[in-house]
Amino acid sequence: MSDLIQLIEIPKIEDPRGNLAVIEKDVIPYDVRRTYYLFDVPSGAYRGGHAHKECLELLIAVSGSFEVILDNGKEKQRVMLNNPTKGLLIPINMWRELENFSSGAVCLVLASHTFDEGDYIRDYDTFKALENA
């Protein structure tokens, strides 16, 4: 497994009536300041296409599946998320692209910071220049 990938196991409580996944303070290494989710992503579309300077994010496929391409400026790694008890921790200064969403897929994102446009690196050439500096 590449150093780019850090999967976090989300505790699951099994019950015949349905399972329950629990994310509390010890599951992820930061306080959650923002929660959002992606859904109804059209076939062939992609999301992401940026990196963060300070914000950490945990991505979870709570329904369906999608792929995440991680890029640290030197190597790329593709990760399939399709299990609601596995979260992909994305560190700072990591370019990410999300694609190949299945029908009905929902991507939950737990972020360490509130939205701040200044935290985003949205241009890949700028990202590469910063990583190679």
Please choose, from the candidates 78, 58, 74, the residue with its C-alpha nearest in 3D space to the C-alpha of residue 127. 74
What pairs with residue 48 in β-bridges?
97
Which listed residue (50, 78, 113, 128) is catalytic? 50
Please choose, from the candidates 133, 62, 65, 55, the residue with its C-alpha nearest in 3D space to the C-alpha of residue 96. 55
Residue 52 among the catalytic residues = no
Helix (H, G, I), strand (E, B) or coil at 127: helix
Residues with catalytic annotation? 50
